Structure 1
């Protein structure tokens, strides 16, 4: 069965953030994800989940200075202590929210990065992920890594599926998993079904958006029903996060999800 989670950082922006939980439930979603929870206490967010009858399925570790353009710190040399603190903070939220997985964003390479700089980021990334996975394992959580396309996020350290799989192998932790975003994969690598099949044992979460505009998944060049069918055939029982920017009002664009239990306005 296809289980859809609303990404509340992108969907239901017609509402204030805490009101998006109820809006998502009314639209038929049973799970939610979002970028960051840290503007609110975990108790406040837990109350919003309980009032709406929703499950928290994913959020990100603190990303560094997001407003200044940072996009994660997991691969940044010299920021190891800050990263470790971010792991502790994220796991504290995950415990209160009952969230089984957190995403550690890799961060950006500096402009003009050479091979030596790339190697330093790689070594830092692997060491930091080993720490994060070990800490998460103590409390029964998974840590995810996600290749993000460099058109939307220029300079992002982890952008290719093959790189992500090599990192998973290098770290060697059972609870370090792949966040398989079909939108990013299509832009950078294509061949979605074959990537899905090859990488399936490593996939801990799936996300979707229409390509290339990142609107509703029934717009653009990707036929998502076929991908959902293949995921189900492979035995995927996890969540599919709807991480797209609605072209208009969120409910108006949910017609694509009717067969999966969503309720559109029209």
Structure 2
């Protein structure tokens, strides 16, 4: 059965960040993930998770200057040194909190940027980063993101992400398959799960409703079909990853969780 992780950067925003660990545990989550936890000392973050029996399953590498529109440095010309620094910081933090996965954002193409050159930089830097991460036993994730939410983002399609992972050939470089972004760009998420999960290149899933990014049962996303496909394929392939609940709650987080993800989880117990 799929394992669900609460994304603490999206869920439980009605309480301070560290209190969200307690809320996630009360709602029955076994894992948590978050975007950029670096303002919290790693020892404090790990202690809170361990006290509640929660696994920290994913964090993001620092993305550059988010306030100025930077969404990752991996493909950005002239930012190689900054990218290296971001990866080193992310790997040190992930090791300290026992997080086995780090998501590396690709970056946004500028109006004058040449896409093929950006892809070449991206692949070269990912290759370097994967080698650094392997020394710490950490998997790196790359994630296609839809252009409505993040205009100009370099990586938008599942097939392109899988082709990049295959070309680089690092066993610890995987695709983070967000069913919300996939649904916005490619539509049939069940077909995409069935196509890509058996490949061994999917390291993590995330889920939210389409098109408004609320609870998975809000909108057009075939969340039941997608979760059933993940469940079925996991049994035959041995996939043991997580599904991050990265959505914007319509109201209080716990109520929406109980109506959607928790209902699925309980139906499978």
TM-score greater than 0.5 by the shorter chain: yes
Query: Does 1:237 pair with 2:233?
Result: no
Maintained 8 Å contact 1:33/1:58: yes
* Paired positions, count: 259
- Partner of 1:4: helix, strand, or coil? strand
Deviation string 1:166-219 (CA, Å, 9 cap, x unpaired) is 211221111100000011011111222222122112100000000000000011
2:256 aligns with 253
Provide closer, same or farther for how the CA distance between residues 259 and 2 of structure 1 changes in structure 2, counting only shifts above 3 A: farther
- Partner of 2:118: helix, strand, or coil? helix
1:76 aligns with 76
After TM superposition, give the deviation of residue 256 of structure 1 in Å: 1.3
TM-score normalized by the length of structure 1? 0.94
Query: Does 1:146 pair with 2:143?
Result: yes
1:205 aligns with 204
Query: Does 1:50 pair with 2:53?
Result: no
1:20 aligns with 20
Deviation string 1:100-154 (CA, Å, 9 cap, x unpaired) is 11000001000254xxx11221111001100111011111110000000000000
Maintained 8 Å contact 1:147/1:161: yes
2:122 aligns with 125
Deviation string 1:51-70 (CA, Å, 9 cap, x unpaired) is 22210000100000011111
Counting only pairs closer than 5 Å after superposition, residues 150-161 of structure 1 correspond to structure 2 as: 150-161=147-158
After TM superposition, give the deviation of residue 2 of structure 1 in Å: 2.0
What RMSD in Å do the two structures reach over aligned CA positions?
Answer: 1.2
Maintained 8 Å contact 1:105/1:145: yes
Maintained 8 Å contact 2:7/2:246: yes
TM-score normalized by the length of structure 2? 0.93
> Which aligned segments of 4 or more residues in structure 1 are displaced greater than 3 angstroms?
259-262
After TM superposition, give the deviation of residue 48 of structure 1 in Å: 1.4
Distance 2:9 2:262 in 1: 22
Maintained 8 Å contact 1:28/1:261: no
Maintained 8 Å contact 2:189/2:222: no
Unaligned runs of 5+ in 2: none
Distance 1:234 1:257 in 2: 19
- Partner of 1:198: helix, strand, or coil? helix
Query: Does 1:196 pair with 2:200?
Result: no
